[in-house]
A and B are shown apart, each in its own frame.
Chain A
């Protein structure tokens, strides 16, 4: 069962705009991601990586084709159903960290638990545990402005994993970080994948970072060019 695809795209297309200005960013993607895999998505700028990630993250719906998440056709769900899916199964890490400003690390990490309606004391406990996992237990009361880029990204990762998601989606998580910090973040993601069994999908431009993945998917012009085994396989 562990090798059932948790994610499956079938002939997925995505068109932005309509009429003369319409632009097809995805031109028919077929893709499967097995449960527990660590996937790196690579490709030139504008090849549709972020577009695909948004669809995989249930933030957006495909224009055509089918997207099955755990066997559920996501394109048939409405806005709120997709929100509940994200709340329950997905974690996001963005290139720009996207933490709430003027809000402590702990409160940022607590946020998804709040929407899950968790008790205050349990919220605290779980959020502190997540911060400890990314090595920031001592920094819980710092606001983003008081943290380095790498630390902010760790907080973002803690926020993404605090709900024990099945899938962690990361769009260029190291894009704004220096090399040393990037490696630390990659070690963190690898650990989560290995120890917590979280399926990780990560967009990156850097071959060094892709080294950490078991599967590497290359995008080109809105199509999957090729899929190869990564160094970690």
Chain B
């Protein structure tokens, strides 16, 4: 009997295709919205995690100022000096590598090709800290580092844009008015979250300071902590050391900050997760609205189909069978709507994810949940119209125009 009811429901849906489609449109959109939001949100969370972890594991970033990023403490917070780097390296136990960094943004030019990129001045410790291998060539030696020679190691993106298929080793290109010799190329790391990690030119820090920034300041210091040591304790030792070196009295605030990348990663992931939840919740409201849409049209359709109900009752249908018929119709409709919604979400996220630059992650769980909810909506919102149909008096129903 139950199977028959489903067949009847499907027949009824097929007989009124347009009406059926309009009935479930709300569910389709609701389910698609929820699944799209959550899927893209999860992709964004993963992208953030990926980007942070691409900075390296157990990495501390030290910057002047108090906030996250450059601002915060303002202009009075001085940059670091090479002596600070050396002090950390010599006095703190558990430090695997310390890499100072001075950055500049500049246009790199070679023959007709040019490319806007980031010039990152650092020491060879950078490669150790980042555990970044070379694809070809070599890194600069101590003599070149001390002299601040214009030699560079270039990322894969820069290589492709400036040199196409040529071998860049030994070649020169121009950054501002500096002719720079390529001595090495970095292995490709790819898209690290929202930013291309391979879009970089690495040079001895002295070269960048002298030729591009015009001072000896260090914008930030990257410290790689040995796996055997506790990152938090290393962090607090560095803080004590730097407070001393920067003459900060007791009770005064730090005019620099130290970020543990893992901590940032957790914070950011927490934030994107909350954002995902909020977007999902907003979309869920539209799903409820879709459910009310089903109820609305089912109620109208009960009125419209009063005579049909009368015929069924006269022929000998009992109330529960009529109730079942309308309920099953609502549930089958809602489930179909849910399925279409899932497909729609799949297509939308698949094509939208690359556009907003997050990875496409198919999560079966949210799909299952959204589908179950649409079935539930069918039951809940289909029940009232169904009960109304079942309660009809056969004579009145038959007389209904």
A interface with B by C-beta (< 8 Å): 54, 57, 59-60, 79-80, 83-88, 90, 92, 94, 98-103, 107, 111-112, 114-117, 159
How far apart are the CA atoms of A143 and B177 in the complex, in Å? 86
Quick check: A114 and B4 within 8 Å, CB to CB?
Answer: yes
Q: In the complex, A127 Cα to B310 Cα: how many Å?
A: 21
Residue of A79, A102, A107, A111 near B315 (CB, 8 A) is: A111
- Within 370-401 of B, Cβ neighbours of A (below 8 Å) are at 394-395, 398
CB pair A59 B394 closer than 8 Å: yes
Main secondary structure of the interface of B (DSSP, over half): helix
Are the C-beta atoms of B316 and A88 separated by less than 8 Å? Answer: yes
Alpha-carbon distance A101/B320, docked complex (angstroms): 23
Does the CB pair B15–A59 fall under 8 Å? no
Listed by A's residue number, 8 A-B pairs whose Cβ atoms lie within 8 Å are: A83-B313, A86-B314, A87-B317, A92-B314, A98-B307, A100-B308, A115-B315, A115-B321
A90 to B394, CA, bound (A): 15
Whole-angstrom distance between the alpha carbons of A26 and B318 in the complex?
27
Residues in A with CB closer than 8 Å to B317 are 83, 87, 115
B1 touches A94 (CB 8 A): no
How far is it, in angstroms, between the C-alpha of A59 and the C-alpha of B397 when the chains are bound?
Answer: 11
Residue of chain B at shortest CB distance from A81:
B318
Give B10 Cβ to nearest chain A Cβ, in Å: 13
Q: Given A54-B395, A114-B4, A117-B1, are A80 and B314 neighbors across the interface (CB < 8 Å)?
A: no
Are B395 and A83 in contact, CB atoms less than 8 angstroms apart? no
A15 vs chain B, min Cβ distance (A):
15
Q: Chain B contacts of A112 at CB under 8 A?
A: 315-316
Q: How many residues does chain B have at the interface if contact means C-beta atoms less than 8 Å apart?
A: 22
Nearest B residue to A80 by beta-carbon distance? B318
What residues of chain A lie closer than 8 Å to B307, measured between beta carbons?
98
CB within 8 Å of A: which B296-319 residues: 307-308, 310-319
The 9 closest A-B pairs by CB, nearest first: A87-B316, A86-B316, A80-B318, A83-B318, A112-B315, A59-B394, A102-B15, A98-B311, A115-B317
Q: How many A-B contacts at CB < 8 Å in the complex? A: 59
| B positions within 8 Å CB-CB of A | 1, 4, 8, 11, 15, 307-308, 310-321, 394-395, 398
> B20 to nearest A CB, angstroms?
13
- The reply to whether B395 and A100 contact each other, CB–CB distance below 8 Å, is no
Known: A83-B313, A117-B1. A98 touches B398 (CB 8 A): yes
CB of B15, distance to nearest CB on chain A (Å) = 5
Contacting pair A100 B318 (CB below 8 A): no
Q: Which residues of A contact B1 (CB under 8 A)?
A: 117
Set of chain A residues within 8 Å of B11, measured between Cβ atoms = 107
A117 to B394 Cα, complex, angstroms: 21
- A98 and chain B: residue at smallest CB distance: B311
Complex CA distance for A87 and B315, rounded to whole angstroms: 6
CB distance from B352 to the nearest CB of A (A): 40
Given contacts A59-B395, A98-B307, A98-B398, contact A103 B15 (CB under 8 A): yes
Nearest-Cβ distance from residue B117 to partner chain A, whole angstroms: 68
Say which residue of B308, B314, B319 sits within 8 Å of A59 (CB atoms): B314
Instruction: Give every chain A residue within 8 A of B4 (Cβ-Cβ).
Output: 114, 117
* Separation of A115 and B325 alpha carbons in the complex (Å): 11
In the assembled complex, which residues on chain B have CB atoms less than 8 Å from the CB atom of A85?
316
Nearest Cβ distance between residue A109 and chain B, in whole angstroms?
A: 11
Alpha-carbon distance A92/B319, docked complex (angstroms): 19
Residues of B within 8 A of A80 (CB): 318-320
The residues of A that contact B318 with a CB separation of less than 8 Å are 79-80, 83-84
Inside 8 A of A101's CB, which chain B residues have their CB? 308
A84 touches B316 (CB 8 A): yes
Pairwise interchain contact B319-A86, C-beta atoms closer than 8 A: no
